Amino acid sequence: MNYQGVSENGAIIAQNILRSLFNPTWSLLTSFAVDSIWYLMFETVGIAVLGTILGAILSLPLSILTARNIVGDRWSLVGTTVLTTIRTFPFFILGIMFVRVTGPGPFAGVFTIAVLSIGMTSKLFIEAIEDIDKGILEALDAQGATTLQKIQYGIMPQLSASFISVMMHRFEVNVKNATVLGLVGAGGIGFTLISAMTAFRWQDAAAALWGIIFFVMIIEGLSNYVREKLVRG
């Protein structure tokens, strides 16, 4: 029997999934062993933290060398093309590539998150750089400042708060991405989650989901707090 395109068996499965969501395997949520939900979530967050920092470090010079008000239209076009190309790579493909290069584990996840972060982080960095007070750069030009001096004295003091805000926002996204990178062997909780779902162990999957939800909510709250402090100076 079908009901609006959902089979009777499918409806029963959906009910079981919802029931399991509110009745997870509590032993997985109360254990702190090496293979527990909390340990895997700490590993997942660690992957996101390191990947975000590495991605920001790589994004900053790329952004400066792509901003029109720093390098002009020609080089800006080259940099934009490179960053757009990076953004087109699906993160699963990047994850598989790095797992093949570094082997399965958290290192593959860190490098995947870092490269994944470059495209969008650089885009937001560039927008911030191109919106800075041009008068300061013109004054530095009049003083004969080099490009490096313009970056040091004209750009960075104006943009530090914006850069931190962008990194916090990207970190939130990276935590969510890192939770599923385990599907390709790149560390974190993803492998545990997909294994439970594949084996129809919905209560185990629900425990993993609650762990993810808890960490994401905490991180989002902290991120909003930091960004609010930055806005208020």
Rg (CA), the chain: 22
Superfamily of 2-232 according to CATH = MetI-like (1.10.3720.10)
What is the pLDDT, as a whole number, of residue 1? Answer: 45
| Tokens, residue 166 | 């962008």
What is the pLDDT, as a whole number, of residue 54? Answer: 94
What is the pLDDT, as a whole number, of residue 2? Answer: 46
Residue 160 vs residues 2, 118, 163, 187, 222: alpha-carbon distances, Å: 57, 17, 5, 31, 19
What is the pLDDT, as a whole number, of residue 233? Answer: 59
What is the pLDDT, as a whole number, of residue 3? Answer: 47
What is the pLDDT, as a whole number, of residue 56? Answer: 92
- pLDDT tens digits in sequence order for the chain, 233 residues long: 444 555 667 677 777 778 877 888 877 777 777 677 888 888 889 999 999 999 999 998 888 888 887 788 888 898 889 888 888 888 888 888 888 888 888 888 899 999 989 988 998 888 888 887 777 777 877 877 777 777 777 777 777 778 888 888 889 889 888 888 877 877 778 888 888 888 888 888 888 888 888 888 888 888 888 777 776 65
Residue spans per domain, the chain = 2-232
Residue 208 near residue 29, CB atoms below 8 Å: no
CA distance 65 to 229: 29
